[in-house]
């Protein structure tokens, strides 16, 4: 049960980071690690793809120093889901206090 909650929290953090600014996988992994989420590329990139397939993230590819970099941003739908989840989390926090 704790693992499921942590996985949900990870998805919400990804949506939040991508709502604030465009992100790419390596930067996102660093930010998540700073918050205690040790996420391997084998976990992070499929998560990003699933969120994109669900219409919560959009991406674009650019070339930086000869390398392709995919950058992600939260969609309008993703921002709505994030806001709804924040409301649920606020209720939960209030109930747990």
**Predicted TM-score (pTM) of this structure:** 0.86
Instruction: Say which CATH number the domain at 76 has.
Output: 1.10.10.10
Beta bridge partners of 61: 70
The whole-angstrom distance between residue 31's C-alpha and the CA centroid of its chain comes to 11
CA–CA distance, 50 with 78 (Å, rounded to integer): 12
Number of domains in the chain: 1
Question: pLDDT value at position 32?
Answer: 87
**Three-class secondary structure assignment of 16-82:** HHHHHCCEEHHHHHHHHHHCCCCCCHHHHHHHHHHHHHCCCEEEEEEEECCEEEEEEEECHHHHHHH
The whole-angstrom distance between residue 77's C-alpha and the CA centroid of its chain comes to 14
Per-residue pLDDT of the chain (97 residues; tens, 9 = 90+): 888 888 888 899 999 999 999 999 988 999 888 888 788 889 999 999 999 999 999 999 999 889 999 999 999 999 999 999 999 988 988 888 7
Question: pLDDT value at position 81?
Answer: 95
Q: HSE-up of 90 (CA within 13 Å, CB side)?
A: 6
**Domain interval for residue 20:** 1-95
């Amino acid at each position: 049960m704790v693992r499921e909650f942590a996985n949900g929290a990870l998805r919400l953090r990804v949506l939040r980071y991508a709502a604030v600014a465009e992100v790419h996988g390596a930067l996102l992994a660093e930010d998540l690690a700073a918050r205690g989420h040790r996420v391997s590329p084998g976990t992070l990139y499929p998560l990003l793809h699933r969120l994109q397939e669900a219409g919560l993230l959009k991406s674009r590819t650019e070339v930086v120093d000869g390398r392709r970099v995919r950058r992600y941003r939260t969609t309008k739908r993703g921002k709505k889901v994030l806001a709804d989840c924040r409301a649920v989390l606020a209720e939960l926090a209030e109930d747990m206090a």
